[in-house]
Chain A
Amino acid sequence: MDTLPDVEPLAILEALLFVSEVPVTMERIEEVLEGRSRAEIVGLIAGFQERCRQGGRGLLLVEVAGGYRLVTKPEVAPWVQRFRGTKPAKLSKAALETLAIIAYKQPITKPEIEAIRGVTIDGVLKTLVERDLIRILGRKPEVGRPILYGTSRDFLEYFGFKDLSELPTLKEIESLAPAAAGKETSDEAVGDAGQPG
């Protein structure tokens, strides 16, 4: 690596977070900041968060979907919304119910979801796939090899979860999802294309 000018690491961190369109993982920060320990970086992040919390700033540094990202403060939301010119679209009740079932019971097939909701879900499933909130985890090794669905990284971002373990625990729901974190997919489960970050 060429010799780089001596720049305050906090400034570098701020720049990285600024240019990234997805949450930046700790691993990526370590890679780019070369030679800084994780503890140091954790300290930098905490320092940055502290600075944001002070008045006169419009940004926050949040931990979400396995990484860190800059977001605008809730109190400036009305102006950001005016600036962007669109109101964020909310998911329908049907979409949220379907998403909840997938989140807690993944990997799960379409017929299994339909059995719980008592309705067909073709349209809803298509919307969720198109919005990248769910993804295909593989196929269930049974007749018809139905597709297994699970939640995506965008799902975590969308609801502000660091990871799936942050899904709110609901009455009796743990017994339904013994392995919310350890996704047990069939042997045939397909991996993910593309690289993170």
Chain B
Amino acid sequence: MTYRVRLEMFEGPLDLLLYLIQVNEIDIYDIPIAKITEEYLACLATMQELDLEVAGEFLVIAATLIQIKSRMLIPAEELEGEDLPQEDPRRELVERLLEYRRFKEAALTLDELESRQQLFYARLGELLPPVAEGPLQVSLSELLRAFAAIVQRAPQATALEIAPEAITVSERMVMVIDRLALESPLPFTTLFDVAGTRLMLIATFLALLELLRRGLVRARQSEPEGEIMVYRAIEGSGGDDGHPA
């Protein structure tokens, strides 16, 4: 191999594989697996400093190549007996490569459209987007105070023996995210509308705190004692997406 490749040049293992196929002028429908595996592994060997996550992705395909290579080595007779039609061990990989290549080409088209489109300037939005920016904009004590008010309004637990409900904070996190996906921002109190028991309220509150910590939702209070609004931190202004109904 005379050319030098650096893995950073590639958008992943499939991109590298397509490159090797192209520079070697190989027919994608008839890949010489032994040769391409050797080259692929040689490329991996040039990785001096390993980024483990990236390396992992490349190694998965390396393993696939080696597996195909070994399956190709098994003589055809040994596989007969079962009446199954002989399937080319390379087929699945080839299909993956072809599919990836289609989208790689589609991405190139989008790239051209992007460049062309960037010559057209439109008016910039002046209004504040409905998605809150910046970190938490309400103090923790305000949040706690608001929560205390909700708990006080909740009915007292009656002295019944009830099998403990399986309420998990992560479930409540999903609920909060789902509600905000439908409508954002929502008043803090609205998030507790559905929750009945105190346990449920507490789980919901913990879920909200966790979401705030992870930056998935944001809370703001425009004035002291004012209503706390909860925003989803991702996803845009919603609205019509231009899809035909």
Q: A99-B110, A116-B99, A118-B61 are in contact. Are A192 and B14 (CB under 8 A)?
A: no
Which A-chain residue is minimally distant from B60 (CB atoms)? A118
Instruction: Please state if B103 and A100 are interface contacts (CB–CB under 8 Å).
Output: yes
Q: In the complex, what residues of B have CB within 8 A of residue A72's CB?
A: 120-122
Q: Cα distance A91–B114 when bound, in Å?
A: 8
Is there an interface contact between B241 and A77, defined as CB atoms closer than 8 Å? no
> CB-CB < 8 A to A136: which residues of B?
181, 235
Q: Which residues of A contact B53 (CB under 8 A)?
A: 120
Query: Does B94 belong to the interface (CB within 8 Å)?
Result: no
Say whether, besides A120-B57, A159-B114, A160-B120, A93 and B11 are in contact (CB < 8 Å). Answer: yes
- The 8 A CB mask of A31-69 against B (1 = contact, 0 = none) is 000000000000000000000000000001010011101
**Shortest CB distance B218–A (Å):** 13
| Residues of chain A within 8 A of B234, CB atoms compared | 126, 129-130
Smallest distance from the beta carbon of B192 to chain A beta carbons, Å?
19
Other-chain contact of B122, A71, A120, A165, A168 (Cβ < 8 Å)? A71
A residues in contact with B204, CB < 8 Å: none
| B101-116 residues at the A interface, CB under 8 angstroms | 102-111, 113-116
Q: Mark B160-198, 1 if CB is under 8 A from A, else 0.
A: 000000000000001000100111100000000000000
B242 touches A160 (CB 8 A): no
Q: Does B152 contact A (CB under 8 A)?
A: no
Shortest beta-carbon distance, A92 to chain B, in Å?
9
User: CA A116 – CA B105 in complex, angstroms?
Assistant: 13
- Check if B118 sits within 8 Å of A88, measured CB to CB: yes
Given that A66-B242, A197-B240 are known contacts, is A74 also in contact with B102, CB under 8 Å in the complex?
A: no
Closest CB in chain A relative to B243 CB, distance in Å: 6
B104 pairs with A97, CB closer than 8 A: yes
Task: Enumerate chain A residues within 8 angstroms of B116, measured Cβ to Cβ.
Answer: 160
Question: What residues of chain A lie closer than 8 Å to B110, measured between beta carbons?
Answer: 91, 96, 99-100, 103, 159
Closest to B105 in A: A170
A3 within 8 A of B: no
**A120-147 vs B: 1/0 string, CB under 8 Å?**
1000001001101001100000000100
Bound together, the chains give a CA A66 to CA B232 distance in angstroms of 26
**Residues in B73-123 with C-beta less than 8 Å from chain A:** 96, 99-100, 102-111, 113-123
CB pair A94–B241 under 8 Å, yes or no, is no
Q: Does B12 contact A (CB under 8 A)?
A: yes
A118-B61, A170-B109 known; A74 vs B240 contact (CB < 8 Å): no
8 Å CB interface, A144-164 against B? 145, 150-154, 156-164
Tell me the bound Cα distance from A172 to B113 in angstroms: 20
Please give the distance in Å from A74's CB to the nearest CB on chain B.
4
Given the known inter-chain contacts A21-B125, A66-B240, A170-B109, please indicate yes or no for A90 contacting B99, CB distance below 8 A: no
Residues of B that sit less than 8 Å from A by CB: 11-15, 53-54, 57, 60-61, 96, 99-100, 102-111, 113-127, 130, 174, 178, 181-184, 234-244
- Could you list 23 A-B pairs, sorted by A, with CB under 8 Å? A21-B126, A25-B240, A81-B121, A90-B115, A93-B107, A97-B104, A100-B107, A100-B109, A100-B110, A116-B99, A116-B103, A117-B103, A118-B60, A119-B57, A135-B241, A160-B116, A162-B242, A164-B243, A165-B244, A168-B106, A172-B102, A192-B240, A197-B239
| Beyond known contacts A90-B118, A193-B238: 17 more, CB 8 A cutoff | A21-B123, A22-B125, A71-B120, A81-B121, A97-B11, A97-B104, A97-B107, A99-B107, A100-B107, A117-B14, A118-B13, A135-B236, A151-B241, A163-B244, A170-B102, A193-B182, A193-B183
